[in-house]
Amino acid sequence: MAVKKVTKTDIPVKVNLDTTVLLTVTIGNAQIGGNVVRWKSNPNILAKGEIKNLNLGLGVDIRGKILKVTTNVLDVNEVTNGIVIVHYFHNGNPSSFTYEDRVEKDGDILQLVTEYTFK
Amino acid sequence: MKKYAIFLLAIVTWHSIYAQNEIKISELSIPTSPGFVLADKAPASIEKPTTPKAFGVSLLNLREGGAVEVTPYWLVNHPAYTFTDYFKKRKFPVLETFNISAATFKTDTTSSVSMGFRTQIVRLYSKAAREELEAKRLEIVGLLSVEDFTPEALEAIEKARKELSDLKSKITFNFEIAAAIIGSSKNNSFKNLQSDKSGVWANIRYRPKECPLDFTALARYSWTNNTNPKVGSDSAFFDYGLSLSFQKPKYDLALEFINRYDFSIKSNTNRLALVVNYMIYDNIVIVGSFGKNFDKVKNLLTVVGVKFGLSNDKAKIN
């Protein structure tokens, strides 16, 4: 079992000062994934596991902060080794980030580490 | 052609050696091309519905021929298709299992080619199976929710993945349809290629809870074309039968009985065969069938071959 690591940093997300920003992570291709979400400057974990409508706070409170999202996807689909991850920010602009990749073999893991900067 | 076949075998062998996955026969599915099945070239005449490959190549053996298959749905990514959808919502997976294949094989006098398709109309898990899948899914989500993996964590994930794969293979009810057309050319010229035989069929698989046996029923209508213009009418057949199979991690045993009714001569023949699949290596399966074939004379059935799966993705026999 191999772990393929991919890092994407400094991804800008524009937010309105007066709206709440929510995060949802979707793992496609009938694969299974888990997440760890935290602010980069803070070791405390905001949420882990499946992420659905995670309240990140008001735009005014999170502007300037960097959100670190670690998504690990296990290839459990015997038909394809394709991996597709969608990070969706409700009230963010752009609202969704899709990452597509492949692992080499069945049972391999793709680890995607993303850092979103709220502006 | 021979050189090409040897080259292909070398690629398959190389791939198999270097793509070492610990897998069980229940995870290994190299579905026999519908063209092989229609031509009675497949070791098993009743095929269990299987999860097709996004892209795969299977060779019965180098002398007999080979097949290539593709499942168009999985050639692109599906961001909104979650694992939960797979076992809870996708009860009619027609598109995602729609698989097209082309095969070539030799007869005594000609080389034949075939085109075929197969797709699952219904795929159902029992309530208990769905609950087990959901529990295993949540366990894996928990194991994956870390920033760094320890060797112990990876070991636990691999163990859970295998258990999940086992649960996935325990589909309670499957209904699959398939069709194929076979053509040949007496002088091996593409221009003179003509259709010899066509067929449509359905495989219905049922796996009772706590039962070690799998039941697969077959209903198939096939007809020959252009066989003897002087006689005027072509032959048509209706096959129906049942296969009982018993599966262990390394092998799969199936006993199948099929009755064939020939409409043109209004006569019945049957086939009784024991089909053995034994996995000798990842993506390499020795397959043999022994018994009595449909023909009224020279009907001793002894087919031994090797099925190779050529793909980055895993194959399946269940």
Domains of chain B: 2-125+171-308 (2.40.160)
Candidates B28, B145, B155: best to mutate against A (most CBs of A within 10 A) is B145
pLDDT per position as a tens digit, B32-76: 677 777 777 677 777 776 666 666 666 655 456 677 888 999 999
Cis, peptide link before residue B31, omega less than 30° from 0: no
CB B157 within 8 A of CB A74: yes
Amino acid B135: pLDDT: 97
Q: For residue range B98-110, list pLDDT tens digits in order.
A: 999 888 877 667 7
Interface test with A, best of B313, B316, B318 (most A CBs within 10 A): B313
**DSSP state, B40?**
T
pLDDT in tens, B2-25: 444 444 444 333 333 333 333 344
CB < 8 Å to A49, chain B: 141-142, 145
Q: Spell out which chain B residues touch chain A, with contact meaning CB-CB distance below 8 angstroms.
A: 19, 21, 23, 27, 29, 51-54, 71, 74, 77-83, 85-86, 96, 137, 140-147, 149, 154, 157-158, 161, 164-165, 168, 312-316
- 3-class DSSP string for A7-45: EEEEEEEEECCCCEEEEEEEECCCCEEEEEEEECCCCCE
Nearest chain A residue to B70 by CA: give it.
A79
Instruction: Show Cβ contacts of residue B89 under 8 Å, excluding neighbours closer than 6 positions.
Output: none
Confidence band, pLDDT 50/70/90 cuts, at residue B229: low
> Which of B74, B83, B143 lies at the smallest CB-CB distance from A80?
B74
Interchain proximity B82–A26, CB inside 8 Å: yes
Helix B127-144 vs helix B151-169: angle between axes, to the nearest 10 degrees?
Answer: 160
State the residue range of the domain holding A77.
Answer: 3-118
Write out B249-288 in H/E/C secondary structure: CCEEEEEEEEEEEECCCCEEEEEEEEEEEEEEECCEEEEE
What percentage of chain B has pLDDT greater than the value 90? 39
Mean residue pLDDT of chain A comes to 96
Cβ of B316 within 8 Å of Cβ of A107? The answer is no
Q: What digits encode the pLDDT tens for the residues B266-318?
A: 889 999 999 888 888 766 778 888 888 887 767 777 777 776 655 444 333 33
CA distance A77 to A110: 13
Q: How many domains does chain A have?
A: 1
Strands of the A66-74 sheet, one edge to the other = A45-49, A32-39, A66-74, A109-118, A3-15, A92-93
Average pLDDT, rounded, for chain B: 79
pLDDT tens digits for range B162-204: 999 989 888 889 999 999 998 887 776 777 777 888 999 999 9
Contact A86, B79 (CB under 8 A): yes
How far is Cα of residue B3 from the mean position of the Cα atoms in its chain? 27
Q: Degrees (nearest 5) of the Cα angle B93, B87, A98?
A: 85
Instruction: Say if the Cβ atoms of B21 and A50 lie within 8 Å.
Output: no
pLDDT of residue B62: 46
In angstroms, the CA B116 to CA B95 distance is: 15
Q: How confident is the model at residue A30 (pLDDT cuts 50, 70, 90)?
A: very high
CA atoms of B218 and B207, how far apart (whole Å): 15
Q: Chain B contacts of A76, Cβ < 8 Å? A: 83, 140, 161, 164-165, 168
Rg (CA), chain A: 14
Pairs from B189-197 (Cβ < 8 Å, separation ≥ 24): B193/B113, B194/B225, B194/B226, B195/B225, B195/B226, B196/B112, B196/B224, B196/B225, B196/B226, B196/B227, B197/B38, B197/B39, B197/B222, B197/B223, B197/B224, B197/B225
pLDDT reading at B261 higher than 50: yes
How do beta strands A109-118 and A3-15 pair? parallel
Contact between chains at B78 and A107 (C-beta distance less than 8 A): no
3-state helix, strand, coil in chain B (%, to 5): 25, 40, 35
* pLDDT value of position B61: 54
Between B208 and B159, name the one with better pLDDT. Answer: B159
pLDDT of amino acid B132: 95
In chain A, % of residues over pLDDT 70: 100
- The answer to whether B7 touches B258, Cβ cutoff 8 Å, is no
Query: Residue A41: is its pLDDT beyond 80?
Result: yes
Task: State the DSSP code for B64.
Answer: T
- Whole-number pLDDT of residue B318: 32
Q: Which of A28, A72, A107 sits opposite B21 (nearest CB)?
A: A107
User: Is ipTM strictly over 0.90?
Assistant: yes
For A68, name the nearest residue in chain B, comparing CA atoms only: B147
φ/ψ of B99, rounded to 5, equals -125, 130
List chain B residues with CB under 8 Å of A105.
19, 21, 312
Chain A residues whose beta carbon lies within 8 Å of the beta carbon of residue B142: 34, 49
